[in-house]
Structure 1
């Protein structure tokens, strides 16, 4: 099936799953009408609960479903959907208070009936989930602790939200309508069991071993892993995997990293990781011989998916990792297509892979434009931040025919996407990898 058809199928399925409960609830006997605003409030509550349920599917890493979009885009959509669900869940009681002000008196009295109590707990869990996710770094919440709390809060919001709907009983009278919401809640529990129990058990049976730890420039380290007792997996250049180190796969301590090695040598997989966050700042302490587990590959950020007569790459900092995978693979294949790399970094001394990139010039038709924000005094290349004037000076005449791959900090990606589009590259030829998933 064509990728666009597959994408259309999964988008249609998502919309159907979100809206289906609203239409199903209209079947059979209907309660006495209470006005437009009352019914709108109920519809928003139903929609919020359904959207929360489907979010479990969005983050379950079903490779067939995420393949047309890339899992980074799916996670970004998950974030936007969560904001929408929280907005619906907040508007739901506000509209009820508008129609029935007496409910505020009940809330102030502190003696909540069960249906209001369950609704309040669901909303508070969702609010805590949103706050801890959108402002995790500002609140200094450790990534591993956040992941556990995120799952528990999501399950609490969904289960209490479902209980609230069943207790209220509007549009849910009758065993089959009640069963619908119970089935939704149980299906989400089943997905959580699959992700947190079944899949870790499968990974436990397919361990990997760290065979090399290489210190790179720019406070980055490359870990080279080899499968132990199994055949590993094949991947496309530019894809990524979830890596677990010094923990069991059941511990919810996996982290997504781009594969930086050549896809032409799949028996060994390398990850180049910069010392940045809670987990990565100690990556240099990993020892040869340690066990690891990999869940992958994922992503559509690959030259093997977006074929073209030539390529343009834009990297910022450690965003060079997936691009190195593509360049190394092209070199292994003796590919002669023209390649252009824009590589932005702070200083020349700390530029990761600079020696290997120079060596790759000898094996590929590769031109490199380095952009340094803190260049040495004798630097003759591009200076400052990556900006449109640099693209305008160095893009080739056949730019519109090439596919472009961008990976780096979010602000750099935004600037590059807009600049490349203004320079005549079709938006459909521009592909970005968002490595800040949470």
Structure 2
């Protein structure tokens, strides 16, 4: 698996650096010094990275498999900032040292169209990144943000291509123009796949809501079954899906949720959804019989990828228990008797989702269930507060720690504290796996 990850990283670097080949083919325009050429190179690199961003969100399983799609989306987020910095540096160098290259005016009615296109691309890319990074602070509703993000990214990409071809410093020669257009075509095909082909496939494979069941702590179990097709293939316990309800798959209204049910329950799948935001707050309004669309399965957060483990540890908070429910249900269905320690953090005992089922699973599994409450009742005799090294040390047998696989899922402060505690206990890094709790 590591060699596959290294191979995809190499392909990414090749795609980003490939456009630089236009700088090496043929002669450089005369009268241009190092900083001029360096600025142009930064522009090409930034544009290439922006183009590859489409590939990172295309959900191509061969690409995501070695890393996990949550990590891919995290890369997408940080690489967007790097790409934006490169294109801004491209502009800044020209502005400081070659102001004449930017034209006599920024008025689009008078400025050359290719320069206007470049400025438009810069603004659109900036809006795409800024509104994504601070969506909640800007109070952008998720659906509105998705539409805006797609519009900013797509229009920015088109404007940047127009700018590069219009300027023509390094793309005027037919071979160079053909090279750049070929690279651009690949990016366009990726965009078509993401926004047209995949939604079309989902539209042809609908699902039907068959149950909406309230759980504790404003959590709902929503179950769906396939309509006219066989359902999921290759699903491993702990993976997640993009779910669309009361909207078309073309409508950019999909949301990622962990699958709570086990592969042994297929074709039916269940989601554990906490009522928190604009979309999830209305889950209780969904009725059986409604149409749903599912794009799945995704993720590498699964016991099936760690078959050599002597047992498992789950350190979860709140609705972060959902992927662990999938794994525990699957182990029970399979008769898997490997030991499992589940550290489950919640504010109070009443906030423990799936509390009764977890109690039943203790009878079917070698499950050591440790509830951690922030606000325990007066007669509480269990663990309180937060995950710490001392807490884990009291429950995890020292002789097994390096042979157990540890799954972490919950709010970032909780998983960060758990990672630090496990490292302090000598657990190797490859035995600690953290699910990014929110990445969309």
TMscore range, shorter length = over 0.9
1:192 corresponds to: 191
1:123 corresponds to: 122
Q: How far apart, in 2, do the equivalents of 1:108 and 1:44 lie?
A: 22
Whether contact under 8 Å (1:241, 1:258) holds in the other structure is: yes
2:379 corresponds to: 378
Q: How far apart, in 1, do the equivalents of 2:411 and 2:174 lie?
A: 51
Residue 390 of structure 1 pairs with residue 388 of structure 2: no
2:433 corresponds to: 431
Whether contact under 8 Å (1:47, 1:88) holds in the other structure is: yes
Whether contact under 8 Å (1:53, 1:184) holds in the other structure is: no
SS in 2 for 1:25: helix
1:64 corresponds to: 62
Unaligned runs of 5+ in 2: none
Whether contact under 8 Å (1:421, 1:427) holds in the other structure is: yes
2:278 corresponds to: 278
1:41 corresponds to: 39
Residue 237 of structure 1 pairs with residue 206 of structure 2: no
Whether contact under 8 Å (1:258, 1:271) holds in the other structure is: yes
Residue 50 of structure 1 pairs with residue 48 of structure 2: yes
2:29 corresponds to: 31
Q: How far apart, in 2, do the equivalents of 1:339 and 1:107 lie?
A: 67
User: Cα gap change, 1:103/1:209 in structure 2, threshold over 3 Å: closer, same or farther?
Assistant: same
Whether contact under 8 Å (1:242, 1:295) holds in the other structure is: yes
Residue 80 of structure 1 pairs with residue 78 of structure 2: yes
1:421 corresponds to: 423
2:213 corresponds to: 214
Does 391-400 or 50-59 show the bigger shift?
391-400
Q: How far apart, in 2, do the equivalents of 1:102 and 1:21 lie?
A: 25
> Aligned-pair distance for 1:145?
1.0
1:205 corresponds to: 204
SS in 2 for 1:15: helix
Whether contact under 8 Å (2:208, 2:225) holds in the other structure is: yes
Whether contact under 8 Å (1:18, 1:54) holds in the other structure is: yes
SS in 2 for 1:342: strand
Whether contact under 8 Å (1:115, 1:164) holds in the other structure is: yes
> Aligned-pair distance for 1:102?
3.9
Whether contact under 8 Å (2:241, 2:259) holds in the other structure is: yes
TM-score, normalization by structure 2 = 0.96
SS in 2 for 1:264: helix
Residue 354 of structure 1 pairs with residue 352 of structure 2: no
SS in 1 for 2:433: strand
Q: How far apart, in 2, do the equivalents of 1:376 and 1:329 lie?
A: 32
> Aligned-pair distance for 1:108?
6.2
1:394-438 per-residue CA deviation (whole Å, 9 max, x = no partner) reads 222111111111111122122211221111110111111113113
Q: CA RMSD in A?
A: 1.5
